[in-house]
Structure 1
Amino acid sequence: MSVSTSQRFGSTAVEQAEAVLVEQYPQLVRLAYVTLPDSFGRHARVLLAHRAVQRALPRGIGRSIGGPGPGGPAPGAVGGPDGPGPLSEVRVRVLRAALAPAGRVRAALARAGWPPVPPFVWGLRLWPPAGGIDEAARVLTGAPGPVRAAFVLHRMDGLPEEAVVRLLGAAGVADPADGVREALALPVDEALPAALRHPEFDASVVSTRPTDLLRRRRRVRAGWGAAAVVALVTGVVLADAPPPRPEVTPAAGPVAAGALDPARLVRVPAEAWADTARVDFTAWPARGARTADRALLARALGTWAARPGGVPVVAAPGTATDPPARPPHLLYAGDSEGRAVVLLLDGDRVVRYAEAADGPRARELAFARTDDAGVTTAAALTVVRNTAGGAARYLLAPWVDRAGTRDLLRAGDGAAPLAVAADGVTAPVAVPPSDGACGSWPVLELTSSARIVEKHAFVLADLGALSPVHLTYTPLPDGPGAVPARQPREVTGPAARAAWVPAACRLRELGGGAVRAVNVWDFADSQLPEGAGRAVWSCTRASGWAGPGDVLVQLRPPAGPSLDVARARSTAACGRFGQHLLAGTRWRSPAGRWYLLAAGSREVAAISAAGAVRAEAAGRSLAAPAAEAGAPVTLTARLASGARITALDGASGGRD
């Protein structure tokens, strides 16, 4: 190099980099937040993103902002579309921090199986406002960090592909070109990047909420006695444990002072849910006959923190199992079906502790996610499940006025009343069979109190997790052309129940622990050839707590079973940010002739097929003669806006 590093990065260069960082601060925070691993919660990602950007300046003269990463080029080789510059150098440092946020200590903890340790902000929880960068992070959940980074740099920041490759390479990415290719192939609606570039979606804006507003002063005093509290709880756990003494797994993280004291558990007044705009698990009161049983509560908290060996732990994907950082919220403590059960809320997760009703035997722990839960997704929790008997009992939300059960496979049958005890626990409810049979599919039908919403009933399905799954239905578009999108509806009307009949038995294929809601969207209908009647195209989407979901596209002919058309996993398709859909399949008429059928969602204006079948059709459906099997067919559609989309993967395969 003709210019030394110290010369290039003297005080003037550092000042220029600082000016760029201040000017581009929201964009850099967005890059760091979306690139950070999915394993971090929103609070930790916010803190780590801001820390990555604020540490992106050199620590002193003579240190290169864009020094070579592992396998990266030399300083000065990095650049955006206009070549090297302070912004490119700062971006590289931000990318390095976001792609390797753990550092040596954090990496060692990760290798030991411990969760990542974020920076701490005492007394506050931070998260991005709804609709901002958190939407992008949710949509991209499951994609590798370099792919998410490439998506932000290319789709949001507008960098050319070559510049993105250079930046990722300088940040130490092993195969930057591959990361860019994967980012370009992500099935993300074009409306998302465009929306996030609007000024109102400032990525550096965060929302805050106090974690311990009413107890902060008491916690300071309790800090002096923290060791005694932990020792007391540990003593209770070990004293109650049956011989021989089990091996204890260390708690996965620090335990805050007082967090394991049963006397400090948060207890909400019984009528709090009727006087708040936040109707979710935080409004649940403490219920059950054993809410005053200090020994049971201490065992639940101590088992959670100390994790004795031999205690089975079940956690929904993406749910942390570390000890509480503050006293949890007590939801329930009582006996059911020979088990003593404690349900606790800790931030964005619910924890269930269970043991034998007469003492600490056969203990178990279960963790579930509750991010952004609401009236429906916070309406019930599983208290106990009797696998042998094929039944479960649920604790219902305090705002549930009436409860019933119905069979999804019998659309014309009414709901049967379900008895609910004074503490909110239901009578035993049949659960879907686990042996593969599908003669019935029982679900809960709950009605909310008129004190929070008028005439609102909804349906929940048990998929084997701690939290039942909310079922919804989106009907066909109203009329021809690009009409406004219709919102999902509850599965209580005749059309919704009829649409769910062919989809019910497919619920077994979903990962219950990761799913918060399942929607059946009838996105198109089309006339079948040879006068075979009108068929409906539907997309069943299982949306996960983390954002992405799995989809199954089916064709429902007027007679006979539904046909599977296409599948996709970890996708935004058929959701809020994936409203443009095209699908197709081969279909055999009653006379034995084969056709290629295709249909698109409400904004589709024309469909074309290329490859083994060449055809075009105006409107939202296409039907063309085809061979039973052969070379693949490529389907594309033009939207009313002029944009083009391709068929969902697997959409043109043969199907009898």
Structure 2
Amino acid sequence: SVQTRPTDLLRRRRRFRLVWCAAGITVISCAALLTIGPVPVPGDKQARQTGGRPAISADALLRTAPDVWADTSRVDFSAWPARGSRTDDRELLTRALSAWTAPPPGTRVGAARETSTEPPPKETQLLYADVVGGEAVVLFHDGRRVVRYVEPASSSEPASLDFSRADDSDVTTAAALAVSRKDGRIRYLTAPWIAEARTRDLLRPNSPGRPLDMSGQGLTAAVDAPSAAAPCDSLPVLQLRSSARIVEKHAFLVTDLGDLAPAHLSHTPLPGTGAPARQPREATSGTALRSWARGACRLSELRGRGVRAVNQWDFAKQELPEDGGRAVWSCTRASTWRGPGSVLLQFRTSAESATAPAEVVGRARSTAACSRFGQHVVASTRWTAGSGHRYLLAAGSRDVTRITVTGEVDAERRGRTLAVRAPEDARVTVRARLADGEELGEVGR
């Protein structure tokens, strides 16, 4: 099956309970506003009716004990302890809660897609309060959202509030939060279960990760944010390693998509001969990194869509006609906090550069395709051999047994791949038959 969460890597030691990880990440509503977080929105009507009085007091904020994360089956934002040198600064916390309840005029308020800005509920939890880069920063969690309040050093500058969804977060989606963004660089606060952080470039799969400094509180040094502008010549990601107290030998990748929490990246390798269906796994192996190097530049297209996780599934390989080398077909699925996801079907050949962007051969939004609820896929593209001959190529996932082409070209092949000579502009319909007899059309067509 195809899922968006690694399942075989996250086992606690015997004295801890089992933890299943769901891949996730949130993204912002507008990439152009990366320097200030999610897209600005007006305050909720409910927030404006309180007259500025906080819905809860600073003294009522929930504070998780420091070691809860190491002995709980719920490893998410609720397991974060309150950290920072200003967690007892009642005046700062009151200002933050008041601004959240009813933002004063001039306050910059941004919310990720499908994220409410309603006032804080009684169960609001304090995650962090400190000064970062000269600005006072407070992070909250209310079970459904994470909220960042930033108070500039100068009273002449407006404060800001950013809201992101955080429901059903886990080891990977609750692994870090962006504390500050300045001049194209980000500082993160990492989860208490993160034992090590490194940086690496997805476009340089053979280069090792570089150690990233973290304070004892989990605050990282500043790292480069991925650029939303062309050219795509670098794609920085974080490689985080979980503490062995909760997950042994578990490292994973996350990358910034402009929201408070970075997006978790995973990879599903090509199916093995006669082997069970592969499960998504962490994108830290050489195979996964080489696959992501060909799809990394497409991540910028996912900004502003409420994405919580991205999985790259290599679902088929194909020997190209006329000794043209080998091709790999991939489905890159971005799963959202709202539920629906979007997919890109991609095609890459061995003759191209190891970091050349793969060709997009299909796309769809609000689809279950390439998830555990849409485990079968077929795709096609046009390809030109070195001789100049033009071909129609098609490939399907592991349960495809036959591919049929109809229209201005008629062809049928048993198996999971097809290659047939065809004019470049020939109008055709490609369909696949599964092992159970069900027929399958191309995604997005």
State the TM-score, normalizing by the size of structure 2. 0.86
Q: Which has the larger radius of gyration?
A: 1
Aligned to 2:20: none
Q: Alpha carbons of 1:470 and 1:606: their partners in 2 closer, same or farther (altered >3 Å)?
A: same
Q: In structure 2, what is the equivalent of residue 293 of structure 1? A: 89
- What's the offset of the Cα at 1:330? 0.3
Matches within 5 A, 1:558-597: 558-560=350-352, 561=356, 562-597=358-393
Q: Look up the match of 1:304.
A: 100
Which of 110, 119, 125 is the aligned partner of 1:329? Answer: 125
Contact 1:253–1:323 (CA<8 Å) still a contact in 2?
no
Q: Does 1:318 align with 2:114?
A: yes
Partners of 2:43 and 2:161 lie apart in 1 by: 15
Matched residue, 1:487? 279
Change (3 A) 1:249 1:500: closer
Tell me which residue corresponds to 1:401: 195
Q: More strand by proportion, 1 or 2?
A: 2
The residue number in structure 1 matching 2:37 is none
1:384 to 1:513, Cα distance in 2 relative to 1, 3 A: farther
2:63, 2:121 → 1: CA distance? 17
Tell me whether 1:424 sits opposite 2:218 in the alignment.
yes
Q: 1:604 aligned to 2:403? A: no
Query: CA offsets per residue over residues 339-359 of structure 1, 9 Å max, x none?
Result: 111110012110111111355
- Return 5+ residue gaps in structure 1 as ranges: 1-246, 651-656
Identify the structure with the greater helix proportion.
1
Q: Structure 1 residues 339, 585: CA separation in 2 closer, same or farther (over 3 Å shift)?
A: same
Distance 1:608 1:297 in 2: 64
* 8 A contact 2:106–2:158 mirrored in 1: no
TM-aligned CA deviation for residue 546 of structure 1: 1.3
Identity %: 54
Structure 1, residues 583-620: CA drift from partner, whole Å, max 9, x if none? 00111111111111000001101010000211000010
Q: Distance in 2 between matches of 1:291 and 1:416?
A: 31
1:7-406 matches, within 5 Å, as: 251-252=46-47, 259-357=55-153, 359=155, 361-386=157-182, 388=183, 390-406=184-200
Alpha-carbon distance between aligned partners in 1 of 2:294 and 2:56, rounded to the nearest angstrom: 48
Residue of structure 2 equivalent to 1:616: 412
Quick one: distance in 1 between partners of 2:94 and 2:365? 41
Q: 1:553 to 1:338 in 2, by over 3 A?
A: same
What CA distance in whole angstroms lies between the structure 2 residues aligned with 1:613 and 1:599? Answer: 16
Residue type at the aligned position of 1:526: Q
Distance 2:136 2:111 in 1: 20
- Partners of 1:325 and 1:619 in 2: how far apart? 56
The amino acid across from 1:522 in the alignment is: D
1:469 alignment counterpart: 263
Q: Does 1:500 align with 2:292?
A: yes
Answer yes or no: is the 8 Å Cα contact 1:254–1:323 preserved in 2: no
| CA-to-aligned-CA distance 1:309-332 (integer Å, 9 cap, x gap) | 321211111111101221410000
Aligned to 1:450: 244
1:551·1:574 contact (CA, 8 Å) conserved in 2?
A: yes
SS at 1:530 equivalent? helix
Distance 1:359 1:333, change over 3 A: farther
Q: Secondary structure at the match of 1:508?
A: helix
Local SS of the residue matching 1:405? strand
Decide whether aligned partners of structure 1 residues 357 and 292 sit closer, same or farther in structure 2, where only a CA change above 3 A counts. farther
Q: 1:538 to 1:580 in 2, by over 3 A?
A: same
Equivalent position SS for 2:100 = helix
Structure 2 equivalent of residue 83 of structure 1: none
C-alpha distance 464-507 of structure 1, shift in aligned 2 (>3 A): same
Q: Distance in 1 between matches of 2:344 and 2:189?
A: 31
Read off the aligned partner of 1:637 and give its amino acid letter.
A
The separation in 1 between residues aligned to 2:345 and 2:360, in whole angstroms, is: 6
Query: Which amino acid in structure 2 is aligned with residue 320 of structure 1?
Result: S
Residue 635 (1) aligns with residue 414 (2): no
Aligned to 2:439: 644
Q: Which residue of 1 aligns with 2:303?
A: 511
Change (3 A) 1:253 1:310: closer
Deviations 1:359-394 (A, max 9, x none): 5842111111112111001100000011x2x21000
1:440 to 209, 234, 237: 234
SS at match of 1:274: helix
Task: Answer whether contact 1:249 1:307 (CA < 8 A) is retained.
Answer: no
2:141 maps to a residue whose letter is: L
Deviation at 1:648, TM superposition (A): 1.3
Cα distance, 1:357–1:327 mapped onto 2, change above 3 Å: farther
Q: Contact 1:253 / 1:322 at 8 angstroms: preserved in 2?
A: no
- Give the one of 535, 544, 548 matched to 2:336: 544
Amino acid across the alignment from 2:76: D
2:3 corresponds to which residue?
Answer: none
| Code of the aligned partner of 2:420 | A
Corresponding residue number in structure 1 for 2:11: none
Cα drift, residue 512 of structure 1: 4.9
TM superposition score normalised by structure 1: 0.59
Query: What residue identity is the alignment partner of 1:517?
Result: A
Other structure's SS at 2:98 match: helix
Who is 1:553 aligned against?
345
Q: The residue matched to 2:433 in structure 1 has which SS?
A: strand
In the alignment, which of 289, 295, 319 is matched to residue 527 of structure 1? 319
Query: How far apart, in 2, do the equivalents of 1:517 and 1:281 lie?
Result: 17
Alpha-carbon distance in structure 2 between the residues aligned to 1:249 and 1:615: 58
CA offsets per residue over residues 168-187 of structure 1, 9 Å max, x none?
xxxxxxxxxxxxxxxxxxxx
Q: Answer whether contact 2:194 2:241 (CA < 8 A) is retained.
A: yes
Q: Which amino acid aligns with 1:636?
A: R
Residues 1:477 and 1:378: Cα distance change in structure 2 (over 3 Å) = same
